[in-house]
């Protein structure tokens, strides 16, 4: 049986996380007591989401701790973005094989920089000894009745995605094929340091009829919107926003899965009434973030992806259940 963490190890871990993130007036009591006391402003509802990242299942065990600190928070913030929520607080549960000061410092730094950029306060946590695993719970705020949800897409609504698709999946594919050294920094950044689309989520309140963040790939995640909304859709493959590296890879391989089912994009997919089209174009320019119209909601159930020649793309792969790495047993 492994040794539990000692009191001095707890203190050491506490040092790296204490006062690392923004202080907020709505934190009545933060780290250091049995629990935190948080004040939800009148007229707002609490939006809560949790995610666990496990070494060898969700990330390579040799990923930089700074990137890991960033990503463990980013994937959660992406869920808040999809709800149109403003980040407020987070808790962090860390399971560590060993207490290594340099690792902790880098991890806490990656976490704290992203937290600070979104005004988020770390209000509590827990640490255990064991195989490396990170659980982050985020709490956001949204005015009553204004949260974006998966249900709400209507027949005739246009379907949009922010940013570009497939870079993280392509980076992962190349790493798994042993081509990690040849990865461009931009591609690796998309895999290791996704940027949650918080500002876009906030701006889409009252504009989007439904929204989701792209964690499992466009087909799977748009599928969740369609199922929740009781509708179907048609998307045009040639309208998908692709970075040059992804477009080149698809042109060479003829395989669309990195863009359609790769996962880890952490962009937003949303629907909006067709008469909001100009407003969304304007928003996209204002935010300097692409919001590409990729298709339209239809009454017929199911998701139809149409190729440039007008023929349906044969969707034999419908999603991506994160990734399994050799020897991970996952
Ligand atoms: Mg999500």
pLDDT at 327 over 60: no
Name the DSSP letter for residue 328: S
Say how many Å lie between the CA of residue 2 and the centre of ligand 1.
35
Say how many Å lie between the CA of residue 19 and the centre of ligand 1.
28
- pLDDT tier, 2 (very low <50, low <70, confident <90, very high otherwise): low
Least confident span in 174-183, 240-249, 274-283: 174-183
Say how many Å lie between the CA of residue 82 and the centre of ligand 1.
7
Report, as an integer, the average pLDDT of 97-118: 93
Residues lining ion ligand 1 (Cβ < 5 A) are 79, 213
Dist. CA 131–CA 115, nearest whole Å = 25
pLDDT tens-digit map of 155-167: 999 999 999 999 9
Say how many Å lie between the CA of residue 262 and the centre of ligand 1.
15
- pLDDT tier, 176 (very low <50, low <70, confident <90, very high otherwise): confident
Report, as an integer, the average pLDDT of 96-125: 93
Least confident span in 16-25, 84-93, 194-203: 16-25
pLDDT tens-digit map of 15-56: 788 766 678 999 999 887 889 999 999 999 999 999 999 988
What does the pLDDT read at residue 80? 98
Query: Which residues neighbour 153 within 8 Å (Cβ) at sequence distance 6 or greater?
Result: 159, 209, 210, 225, 226, 228, 229, 231, 233, 271, 297
What does the pLDDT read at residue 23? 83
Dist. CA 262–CA 256, nearest whole Å = 9
Q: Nearest-5° angle of CA 290, CA 291, CA 296? A: 150
What does the pLDDT read at residue 328? 33
What does the pLDDT read at residue 221? 97
Say how many Å lie between the CA of residue 80 and the centre of ligand 1.
8
In terms of DSSP H, where are the helices of the chain? 7-17, 65-82, 101-117, 167-176, 185-192, 198-203, 218-229, 244-253, 257-260, 277-287
CA 314 centroid distance within chain? 27
Say how many Å lie between the CA of residue 7 and the centre of ligand 1.
36
Least confident span in 88-92, 172-176, 232-236, 267-271: 172-176
What does the pLDDT read at residue 330? 31
Report, as an integer, the average pLDDT of 263-292: 97
pLDDT at 8 over 80: no
What does the pLDDT read at residue 19? 64
What does the pLDDT read at residue 320? 38
Report, as an integer, the average pLDDT of 144-152: 97
What does the pLDDT read at residue 321? 41
Say how many Å lie between the CA of residue 77 and the centre of ligand 1.
9
Say how many Å lie between the CA of residue 173 and the centre of ligand 1.
22
What does the pLDDT read at residue 5? 77
Say how many Å lie between the CA of residue 250 and the centre of ligand 1.
26
Say how many Å lie between the CA of residue 3 and the centre of ligand 1.
36
């Amino acid at each position: 049986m492994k040794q539990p963490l000692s009191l001095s190890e707890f203190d050491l871990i506490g040092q790296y996380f204490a006062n690392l993130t923004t202080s907020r007036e709505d934190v009545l009591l933060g780290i250091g007591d049995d629990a935190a006391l948080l004040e939800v402003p009148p007229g707002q509802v609490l939006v809560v989401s949790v995610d666990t990242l496990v070494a060898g299942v969700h990330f390579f065990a040799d990923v930089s701790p700074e990137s890991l600190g960033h990503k463990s928070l980013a994937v959660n913030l992406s869920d808040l973005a999809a709800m149109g929520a403003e980040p407020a607080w987070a808790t962090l549960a860390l399971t560590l094989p060993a207490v290594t000061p340099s690792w902790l410092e880098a991890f806490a730094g990656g976490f704290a920089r992203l937290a600070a950029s979104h005004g988020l306060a770390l209000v509590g946590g827990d640490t255990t000894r064991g195989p490396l695993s990170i659980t982050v719970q985020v709490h956001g705020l949204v005015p009553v009745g204004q949260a974006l949800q998966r249900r709400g897409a209507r027949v005739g609504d246009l379907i949009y995605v922010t940013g570009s698709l497939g870079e993280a999946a392509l980076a992962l594919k190349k790493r798994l094929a042993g081509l990690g050294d040849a990865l461009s920094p931009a591609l690796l950044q998309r895999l290791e340091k996704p940027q949650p689309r918080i500002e876009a989520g906030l701006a889409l309140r009252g504009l989007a009829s439904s929204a989701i963040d792209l964690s499992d790939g466009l087909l799977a995640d748009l599928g969740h919107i369609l199922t929740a909304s009781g509708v179907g859709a048609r998307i045009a493959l040639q309208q998908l926003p692709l970075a040059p590296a992804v477009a080149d890879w698809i042109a060479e391989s003829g395989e669309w899965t990195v863009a359609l089912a790769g996962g880890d994009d952490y962009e937003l997919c949303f629907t909006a009434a067709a008469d909001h089209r100009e407003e969304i174009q304007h928003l996209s320019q204002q935010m300097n973030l692409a919001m590409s119209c990729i298709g339209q909601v239809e009454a017929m159930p199911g998701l139809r992806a149409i190729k440039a020649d007008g023929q349906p793309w044969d969707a034999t792969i419908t999603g991506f259940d994160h990734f399994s790495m050799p020897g991970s047993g996952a």
